[in-house]
Amino acid sequence: MTSLFSSYELGGLTLPNRMVMAPMTRVRAAEGGLATPSMAAYYAQRASAGLIVSEGVQPSLIGQSNPGTPGLHTDEQVESWRSVTAAVHTSGGRIFAQIMHGGRVSHPDTTGLQPVGPSAVAAVGDVFTPTGPQPAPMPRALDTAEVPEHALSYAEAARRAVKAGFDGVELHGANGYLISQFLSSNANLRTDRYGGSVDHRIRFAVEAATATAEAVGGERTGIRLSPGGTFWGVREAEVRDLYTALLSELAPLGLAYVHLEATTDEDTLVALRRAWPGTLVMNPVYPMGPKQTGREDADHWLDLGADLISFGRAFLANPDLVERLRRGHPLAPADETTYFQGGDTGYLTYPAHQYAA
């Protein structure tokens, strides 16, 4: 059986274990979308992970979803990230930047701009704004001629990420954000080449991934997907066919990995594992559900053929998660009240396990 603590070759990186710190929004960035010293400390504390994937980073101002999130679309943002990547590398870690375009999951009070999406269909739920939660606004449907520039924005952010010292990037194609909106059959009502059939609905994701792989190399490019997920009101028809077709189109790009969330039935996820010829990162527990990923979940998915296992809340609350799982020590619970409040409490204040002398 594959061990969670065995090494793994990912592109040009040697991961010392098969544990990935999943991307988690923490809204601790400074004004202007700048990374901070606290962010450098936060990621460095967790550098024992085989790979860290950062919180979602907007590739453009219009791509920003939440206030307080970092960007990779200005020179100042690139400079601010250098201290984060240096801190992780000095601590022996490896880090990818997750590039996240929010699409319709945004608000003019956050960006000063009307959100955009594949169609003029509002997300379901309240979005975060500088003055608190507000109903998701109606997005402006992108013209066909505009769509490629938003696909290219992932590649442009990826170039900046590499310049900032990241080892690679992960495209956020999950959880109801822009790529996921194009994959959707209810957020995407287009009748042009980007909507309707499965082949058309996957086109935006393929164009974004292709542009990014061409910009920084396939071995530095991953993508996260949530098959069948219903975040922000998205629905997907023909889930297995949709994602099988998408993986088939992505396979020639030589991507570093595909990162799947457990958002559909296990049989479908196993079928997608078989359909994907490259590295598979598996997040075994439904995101933001009642359970956080543990050792049993990880071992189960390694047995089913996953190569790497991502942990979210478990890494948030246990900076020494690798060692805790290795030694069988209990995991600390995450304090949900501190997820998005800002400041260092619930961010830098989770201690490592205290070992008896």
Q: Which residues are catalytic?
A: 177
Task: Give me the count of residues in the chain.
Answer: 357
Cβ-based neighbours of 53, under 8 Å, separated by 6 or more: 20, 21, 22, 23, 95, 96, 97, 98, 170, 222, 224, 259, 310
What is the C-alpha separation between 215 and 229, in angstroms, rounded?
A: 29
285/88 Cα distance (integer angstroms) = 26
Cβ pair 70, 100 in contact under 8 A: no
Q: Quick count: other Cβ atoms within 10 Å of Cβ 111?
A: 19
User: What is the rounded CA–CA span in Å between residue 101 and residue 205?
Assistant: 12
Ordered alpha helix ranges (H), 46-139:
75-90, 108-111
The three-class DSSP label of residue 243 is: helix
Please give the Cα distance from 52 to 67 (Å, whole number). Answer: 22
**Within a 13 Å sphere around the CA of 189, how many CA atoms are in the beta-carbon half?**
9
Q: Interior CA angle at 160 toward 74 and 105, to 5°?
A: 65
Closest CA to 148 of 200, 99, 204: 204
Q: Are 316 and 23 in contact (CB under 8 A)?
A: no
Q: Which residue has the tokens 């991934």?
A: 209
Backbone angles phi, psi at 44, to 5 degrees: -65, -35
Strands (E), 236-341: 257-261, 280-283, 308-311
Residue 272's Cβ-count burial label (10 Å; 0-12, 13-18, 19+) is: buried
Amino acid found at 229: G
